[in-house]
Amino acid sequence: MSFLPFAGLRLIRPLLVPLRALVRGQWLRESDVDALLRACHRGWALDRVYARVEARQWVADDMLELRLRPNANWRGARPGQHVQLYVEREGVRCSRSYSLTRMAEDGCLEFAVKLQPGGRVSSYLLHQLCVGEMLELGAADGDLSWPQDEQGVLLLAAGSGLTPLLGLLREALVRGYSGPVTLLHYVRERGQKAFVDGLETLARQHPNLELRWALSGDAPVDDELRGRFHPGHVQGLGERHVLACGPGGFVDSVRQALGASSRSLQLESFSPPSWDEGEPARSVNLRFARSALEVAGDSRRSLLEQAEASGLRPAHGCRQGVCASCTCTLVSGCVRDLRSGELFSEPGQPIRICVSAPQGDLTVDL
């Protein structure tokens, strides 16, 4: 219990400037300064972002919206981006990436968390995290953006892929976007339709917004569509800017069906990368420079997986190439991005090791 206010960190910011200089000069350790600041208030820190849980609200049977107020160290984000949330479970620090569904005018951030079967972090956030508790946040990341012109937008979401699109949609409508917008959300069961009340309110306020849902498990009723994504579901909408977000298979189907016919296409996948089963594995030599470790590896598995198999514990979050927390520097050699197949071989280039497989002998700064 602290008698100092959470917002007091903003008032003492000028005092932190010389402390930062001392930390940079290695006269002080950041962890010591943080320990002192956190003794004043558990939401204070030199540079780390802590956020207080202001509210929790169920928005589907398996999805909870969290409203968080970040401390003065928060550096901002854009709608559609995602942020790493850190929690400590049984002495182990874990993190997951969640998309912003709203950035409120009062400075609060809203995230939606979907329950993952067996998921340690999501189950804690949904069932145990209480209002008033603190979470640590990472920096915002992600490239999805709302199209510039008013030619119309098609938003395709599967499961929790709705969340970044919702953040973009809300912001665009508040800004006065007047082109036609169709949001089609794919879920298995009716109870997984998320944010229904809020979306229907938005559609009443903005007649240019059309809402559709498709169910692959429950039998559809009224105007609900049946099954997984099918080009027939979006026939007749004309040439639109398409934003799609969801598991890899869903995003691939959208790419194949609409890649050539859409005005522009932005895709974000939440699934772990899939390997090309047809490609034989080649032996490679892996050197983890900072750990002074050299091991035999192969060209099919991700560097993260192979580092872990060698006993290293690299920082990571989503393991899907989304959150950027596993980023390391490529010192030499070549990697293949397991999502796109693209090759990277520029020394000094940052690579996300969870989605990068070595294509020959390689050194990475890990």
- Which residue, chain included where needed, has tokens 């499961």? 159
Contact residue for ligand FES among 87, 113, 322, 357 (CB under 6 A): 322
The position carrying tokens 């280039």 is 349
Q: Minimum distance between the CB of residue 356 and ligand FES, rounded to whole angstroms?
A: 9
Least separation in angstroms between residue 328's CB and ligand FES is 10
Of 274, 330, 267, 321, the C-alpha closest to 301 is 274
β-partners of residue 109 are 68, 103
Bridge partners of 93, per DSSP, are 88
How far is the C-alpha of 363 from the C-alpha of 365, rounded, in Å?
A: 7
| Choice from 59, 113, 330, 354 touching ligand FES (CB under 6 A) | 354
Nearer to ligand FES, 138 or 152 (CB): 138
β-bridge mates for residue 114, sequence order: 63
Q: Is the dihedral of CA 106, 172, 148, 78 positive or negative?
A: positive
CA distance 68 to 51: 6
CB 266 within 8 Å of CB 280: no
Q: At what angle do helices 196-205 and 162-175 cross, to 10 degrees?
A: 30
Q: Which stretch binds ligand FES (CB under 6 A): 27-35, 194-202, 207-215, 314-322?
A: 314-322
Dist CA 267 CA 31 (whole Å): 39
**Smaller CB distance to ligand FES: residue 8 or 247?**
247
In the complex with ligand FES, the residue whose CB is nearer, 253 or 302, is 302
Residue 318 makes contact with ligand FES by CB under 6 A: yes
CB of 326 to ligand FES, least distance (A): 3
Window 228-247: residues binding ligand FES (CB under 6 A): none
Distance CA 50, CA 37 (A): 12
Footprint on residues 269-288 left by ligand FES (CB under 6 A) = none
In the complex, the smallest distance separating the C-beta of residue 43 from ligand FES, rounded to whole angstroms, is: 25
| Pick from 192, 193, 166: nearest CA to 181 | 166
Residue of the chain from 319, 328, 336, 362 that contacts ligand FES (CB under 6 A): 319
Among 51, 85, 307, 323, binds ligand FES (CB under 6 A): 323
Residues 324-353 that bind ligand FES (CB under 6 A): 324-326, 352
Q: Which is nearer to ligand FES, 52 or 82 (CB)?
A: 82
Q: Do the beta carbons of residue 134 and residue 50 sit within 8 Å?
A: yes
Q: Are the C-beta atoms of residues 227 and 220 closer than 8 Å to each other?
A: no
Number of residues that bind ligand FES (CB under 6 A): 12
Pairing mode of beta strands 134-141, 49-60: antiparallel
Q: Kindly report the backbone phi and psi dihedral angles of residue 87, in degrees, each rounded to the nearest multiple of 5, phi listed first.
A: -135, 155
Starting at the edge strand found earlier in the chain, the sheet holding 264-269 runs 225-226, 209-215, 181-187, 153-158, 241-246, 264-269
Min dist. Cβ of residue 339 to ligand FES (A): 11
Q: Which of 52, 69, 316, 336 binds ligand FES (CB under 6 A)?
A: 316
**Spatial CA neighbour of 219 closest among 193, 190, 183, 184:** 190
Say whether residue 317 binds ligand FES (CB under 6 A): yes
- Span of 43-51, 125-133, 305-313, 320-328 interacting with ligand FES by CB under 6 A: 320-328
User: Does residue 364 bind ligand FES (CB under 6 A)?
Assistant: no
Q: For residues 46 and 354, which CB has a smaller minimum distance to ligand FES in the complex?
A: 354
Contact segment (CB under 6 A) with ligand FES among 37-45, 146-154, 208-216, 321-329 equals 321-329
Pick between residue 258 and residue 354 the one whose CB is nearest to ligand FES: 354
Binding stretches for ligand FES (CB under 6 A): 316-319, 321-326, 352, 354
